[in-house]
């Protein structure tokens, strides 16, 4: 019973406060000054009026936010579409820039090469990050033969392009051929050092790197030396650029002087190649 009386008293106070607010608002709007009684009542009900005002403002803001939610969601969706379009355009531009560089080197290579070459497009590759084994769109009807050397134009100095060795043709169809590159672990290639003409053998490995040894364990070889194909064994055409010596390894227990080589060709990005036609 006391609880009911408490709620009843609160309700009465609230109703009286509302009535007084309305009365003051109606009468004060017609007079410049208000009475002392009205002022006293105003002081009492001002906190109550503030509470009602804040409640009303928050309710208004809440429904305003709900009204704008749909608009914000739509704008966010439209923004995501624009970002997707820009990302796709950026990929296209990067592709164009990459291919343009290849085409520039290709044009310079054709101006200087002494070989008869067949231009080919890469049409497929085995799984993995490296182009260690891949297919090209030229075959026997185009003059490609098993054992032919595959090259690409590589830039050694500013605007100076040389024939960089890529690999060999290992299988040929009418309109396709398979290439095994020099970074494949099954590849072996004889080389000579441009500076000293010292020779040796290089092999690919499972890490898609090139490493090998020199025939003379006292050979003069240093980091940065340029290596070219020697033509020994006739597996590859002579005087093709292989790459630079990255590291020279000589262990006391090892009778051979070993080298690790950075290839001239980027075996992560191969779009077009050239087959040397004999």
Q: Are 110 and 117 in contact (CB under 8 A)?
A: yes
Residue 156's pLDDT is 78
Residue 224's pLDDT is 94
pLDDT band at 29 (very low <50, low <70, confident <90, very high): very low
Same domain, 132 and 165: yes
The larger pLDDT score, comparing residue 112 to residue 159, is at: 112
pLDDT band at 110 (very low <50, low <70, confident <90, very high): confident
Q: Are 225 and 258 in contact (CB under 8 A)?
A: no
Q: Are 229 and 239 in contact (CB under 8 A)?
A: yes
Q: Which of 93, 112, 131 is the last residue of a domain?
A: 112
Q: Which of 112, 139, 155 is the last residue of a domain?
A: 112
pLDDT digit string (tens) for 63-81? 566 656 667 777 777 787 7
Residue 56's pLDDT is 58
Residue 105's pLDDT is 77
CATH number at residue 242: 2.40.10.340
Same domain, 162 and 30: no
How many domains does the chain fold into? 2
pLDDT digit string (tens) for 168-211? 999 999 999 999 999 999 999 999 999 999 999 999 986 767 99
pTM, entire model: 0.64
The larger pLDDT score, comparing residue 122 to residue 156, is at: 122
Same domain, 108 and 130: no
Q: What is the DSSP letter of 159?
A: T
Same domain, 29 and 141: no
Same domain, 106 and 136: no
**Structural domain boundaries, residue 108:** 1-112
Same domain, 56 and 133: no
Separation of alpha carbons 83 and 85, rounded Å: 5
Q: Which of 46-60, 118-132, 173-187 has the lowest mean pLDDT?
A: 46-60
How crowded is the C-beta side of 152, counted as CA atoms within 13 Å? 26
The larger pLDDT score, comparing residue 190 to residue 85, is at: 190
Over range 84-108, report the average pLDDT: 67
Over range 48-69, report the average pLDDT: 60
Over range 123-127, report the average pLDDT: 93
Same domain, 155 and 88: no
Structure tokens, 217: 């364990």
For residues 124, 136, 187, 161, the Cα torsion angle rounded to the nearest 10 degrees is -110
Same domain, 176 and 212: yes
Integer CA distances (angstroms), 97 to 43, 83, 89, 93, in order: 76, 21, 12, 6
Same domain, 161 and 38: no
Same domain, 181 and 227: yes
pLDDT at 28 over 50: no
Same domain, 124 and 52: no
Separation of alpha carbons 272 and 100, rounded Å: 11
The larger pLDDT score, comparing residue 61 to residue 85, is at: 85
Q: Which of 112, 130, 162 is the last residue of a domain?
A: 112
Same domain, 167 and 260: yes
Separation of alpha carbons 58 and 53, rounded Å: 9
């Amino acid at each position: 019973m006391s609880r009911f009386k408490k709620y009843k008293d609160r309700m009465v106070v609230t109703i009286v406060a509302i009535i007084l607010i309305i009365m003051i608002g109606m009468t004060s709007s017609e007079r410049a000054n208000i009475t002392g009684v009205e002022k006293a009542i105003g002081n009492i009900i001002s906190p109550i009026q503030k509470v009602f005002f804040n409640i009303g403002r928050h309710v208004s803001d809440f429904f305003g936010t709900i009204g704008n939610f749909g608009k914000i969601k739509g704008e966010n969706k439209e923004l995501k579409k624009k970002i997707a379009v820009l990302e796709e355009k950026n990929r296209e531009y990067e592709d164009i820039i990459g291919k343009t560089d290849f085409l520039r080197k290709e044009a310079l290579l054709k101006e200087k090469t002494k070989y008869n070459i067949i231009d080919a497009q890469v049409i497929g590759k085995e799984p993995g990050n490296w182009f260690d084994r891949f297919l090209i769109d030229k075959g026997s009807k185009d003059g490609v033969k098993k054992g032919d050397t595959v090259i690409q134009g590589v830039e050694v100095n500013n605007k100076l392009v040389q024939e960089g060795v890529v690999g060999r043709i290992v299988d040929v169809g009418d309109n396709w051929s398979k290439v095994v590159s020099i970074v494949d672990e099954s590849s072996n290639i004889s080389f000579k050092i441009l500076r000293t003409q010292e020779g040796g053998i290089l092999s690919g490995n499972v890490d898609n790197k090139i490493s090998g040894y020199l025939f003379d364990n006292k050979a003069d070889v240093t980091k940065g030396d340029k290596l070219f194909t020697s033509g020994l064994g006739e597996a590859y055409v002579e005087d093709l650029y292989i790459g630079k010596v990255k590291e020279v390894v000589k262990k006391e227990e090892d009778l051979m002087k070993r080298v690790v080589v950075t290839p001239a060709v980027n075996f992560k990005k191969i779009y077009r190649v050239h087959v040397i036609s004999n």
